[in-house]
């Protein structure tokens, strides 16, 4: 008899964005003439930078010619891309990461969840609340939690991020082995200082824990003092894996390219308490289960590091950050407490009401889609997230509509 993974039954009814899509399509059915403005899901709207398109086309032409055609690529990704990543994204920050510590992948979403596969099922996982829902859902799927009770899964250490702690969770008090951190944070937009991050690194050393650091929004950091990478912190190489993505920084959500950094010195422990190095485990996992990112896509990502590619990607990010500033200013002037939007593309707004109610109100009165904070965790209740990923015209119109509706 084929039996199902029983842990899937513990998952809440549907993934957040599926729920939103259902409500939006119902609204559209009832209001077929209304132009709905989506400031909900964090998906980019502008096309790929021209430098990427050019490189993409050239690579496709190479695939069309027997002399330059390529079959299976190197499992970790092509070295032409990994070398540039190491140089521009880490060495330039003074972070000691080399090209062979980088694994090119098709997304931070898959990597942040697949990485759990390397660990025993009895590890305790710490997950920020609120945060990108994938960490919790995949922890549940992997059987590392108990059941849901009063909004919390048993066995999970929730790292609460609230107004009181400026959305930077305190260090856990009980035992934790695997710690997810996400900065700049989705959804709160909060960022972490070097001093605060150093405390997490020290905690991981003291507790023989591992940090999975999701820096998918690193490109949106504006303040000079905010760390872009956990490897800017001394000692992080031993206790942290970092996830990055070209999805938001280069408009690659539909093209798919990201990378994960697993330093050669990053350790976990075997059952005898001896150190084992995660690099070789992740390499083994990826080379068995992952087919790599296509050559044209890696070429397109490589173009993001050229002089014109860097300029064009910065223009993209600046464009969204201008939207973020408008959203934050308008919502603040309407009397709402906001965070984010200064070093992140998300604005986290205290809606002073149930977050799904606020969602329905914005949809029904303004035809604007936000993301209800409750979908990101218990501590997100009462908040909504607005995303800067849209056209300036849509953001401006959405703000006009919200002003009129409120
Ligand atoms: N990490 C965070 C925090 C995200 O918000 C997202 C997407 O919204 C991802 C990862 C997914 O990145 P990718 O498109 O590379 O899978």
Task: Look at residue 59 and tell me whether its pLDDT is greater than 70.
Answer: yes
Does the beta carbon of 16 sit less than 6 angstroms from any atom of ligand 1?
A: no
Task: Look at residue 373 and tell me whether its pLDDT is greater than 90.
Answer: yes
Secondary structure (3-state) at 341: coil
**349: its two tokens:** 């707004």
CA of 247 to the centre of ligand 1 (A): 7
Contact of 164 with 316, CB cutoff 8 Å? no
CA of 43 to the centre of ligand 1 (A): 10
Does the beta carbon of 189 sit less than 6 angstroms from any atom of ligand 1?
A: no
Q: What is the 3-state secondary structure (H, E, C) of 278-333?
A: HHHHHHHHHHHHCCCCCHHHHHHHHHHHCHHHHHHHHHHHHHHHHHHHHHHHHHHH
Kindly indicate the confidence band of residue 28, based on its pLDDT and cuts at 50, 70 and 90.
Answer: very high
Q: What atom of ligand 1 comes closest to residue 132's alpha carbon? A: 3
- Report d(CA 327, CA 333) in Å as an integer: 10
Determine the pLDDT at residue 381. Answer: 95
Other Cβ atoms less than 10 A from the Cβ of 172: the count is 17
Q: Can you tell me the mean pLDDT for 226-246?
A: 98
Kindly indicate the confidence band of residue 14, based on its pLDDT and cuts at 50, 70 and 90.
Answer: low
Contacts for 268 with CB less than 8 Å, ≥ 6 apart: 118, 119, 210, 275, 276, 278, 281
Alpha-helical segments (H) within 115-257: 134-141, 194-206, 236-239, 246-249
Does the beta carbon of 371 sit less than 6 angstroms from any atom of ligand 1?
A: no
Task: Look at residue 165 and tell me whether its pLDDT is greater than 90.
Answer: yes
CA of 282 to the centre of ligand 1 (A): 19
Determine the pLDDT at residue 41. Answer: 81
Mean pLDDT over each residue of the chain, to the nearest integer: 96
Question: What are the pLDDT digits (tens) for 38-54?
Answer: 999 889 999 999 999 99
Task: Look at residue 317 and tell me whether its pLDDT is greater than 90.
Answer: yes
- Report d(CA 33, CA 191) in Å as an integer: 40
- Residue closest via CA to ligand 1's atom 1 equals 216
Question: What are the pLDDT digits (tens) for 245-303?
Answer: 999 999 999 999 999 999 999 999 999 999 999 999 999 999 999 999 999 999 999 99
**71: its two tokens:** 């079959």
* pLDDT-above-90 percentage for the chain: 95
Determine the pLDDT at residue 60. Answer: 98
Task: Look at residue 15 and tell me whether its pLDDT is greater than 80.
Answer: no
CA of 170 to the centre of ligand 1 (A): 24
Q: Can you tell me the mean pLDDT for 99-113?
A: 98
- Report d(CA 294, CA 107) in Å as an integer: 13
CA of 272 to the centre of ligand 1 (A): 35
* pLDDT-above-70 percentage for the chain: 99
- Report d(CA 401, CA 373) in Å as an integer: 21
Does the beta carbon of 40 sit less than 6 angstroms from any atom of ligand 1?
A: no
Q: What atom of ligand 1 comes closest to residue 43's alpha carbon? A: 8
CA of 109 to the centre of ligand 1 (A): 5
Domains, the chain, ranges and CATH? 6-47+308-405 (3.90.1150.10), 54-305 (3.40.640.10)
- Report d(CA 20, CA 336) in Å as an integer: 22
The β-bridge relationship of strands 275-277 and 37-38 is: unpaired
Question: What are the pLDDT digits (tens) for 64-103?
Answer: 999 999 999 999 999 999 999 999 999 999 999 999 999 9
Does the beta carbon of 245 sit less than 6 angstroms from any atom of ligand 1?
A: yes
Task: Look at residue 13 and tell me whether its pLDDT is greater than 80.
Answer: no
- Residue closest via CA to ligand 1's atom 8 equals 42
CA of 276 to the centre of ligand 1 (A): 28
């Amino acid at each position: 008899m084929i039996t199902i993974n029983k842990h899937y039954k513990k998952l809440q009814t549907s993934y957040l964005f599926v729920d939103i899509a259902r409500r939006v399509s119902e609204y559209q059915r009832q209001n077929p003439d209304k132009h709905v403005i989506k400031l909900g899901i964090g998906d980019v709207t502008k096309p790929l930078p021209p430098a990427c398109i050019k490189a993409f086309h050239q690579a496709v032409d190479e695939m069309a010619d027997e002399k330059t055609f390529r079959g299976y690529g190197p499992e970790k990704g092509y070295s032409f891309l990994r070398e540039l990543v190491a140089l521009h994204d880490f060495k330039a920050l003074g972070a000691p990461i080399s090209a062979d510590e980088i694994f090119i992948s098709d997304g931070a979403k898959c990597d942040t969840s697949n990485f759990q596969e390397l660990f025993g099922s009895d590890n305790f996982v710490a997950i920020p609340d609120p945060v990108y829902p994938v960490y919790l859902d995949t922890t549940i799927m992997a059987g590392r939690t108990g059941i849901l009770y009063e909004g919390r899964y048993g066995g999970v250490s929730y790292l609460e991020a609230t107004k009181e702690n400026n959305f930077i969770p305190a260090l856990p008090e009980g035992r934790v082995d695997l710690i997810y951190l996400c900065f700049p944070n989705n959804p709160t937009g909060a960022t972490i200082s070097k001093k605060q991050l150093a405390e997490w690194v020290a905690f991981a050393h003291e507790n023989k824990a591992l940090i999975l650091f999701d820096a998918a929004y690193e490109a949106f950091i504006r303040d000079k003092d905010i760390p872009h990478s956990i490897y800017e912190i001394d000692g992080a190489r031993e206790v942290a894996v970092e996830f990055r993505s070209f999805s938001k920084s280069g408009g690659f959500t539909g093209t798919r390219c990201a990378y994960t950094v697993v330093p050669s010195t990053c350790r976990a422990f075997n059952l005898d308490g001896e150190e084992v190095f995660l690099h070789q485990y992740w390499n083994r996992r990826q080379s068995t289960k992952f087919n790599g990112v296509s050559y044209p896509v890696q070429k397109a990502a490589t173009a993001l590091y050229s002089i014109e590619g860097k300029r064009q990607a910065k223009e993209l990010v600046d464009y969204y950050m201008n939207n973020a500033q408008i959203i934050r200013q308008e919502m603040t002037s309407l009397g709402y407490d906001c965070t984010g939007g200064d070093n992140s593309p998300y604005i986290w707004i205290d809606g002073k009401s149930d977050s799904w109610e606020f969602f329905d109100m914005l949809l029904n009165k303004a035809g604007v889609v936000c993301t209800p904070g409750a979908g990101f965790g218990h501590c997100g209740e009462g908040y909504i997230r607005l995303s800067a990923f849209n056209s300036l015209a849509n953001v401006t119109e959405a703000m006009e509509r919200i002003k009129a509706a409120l």
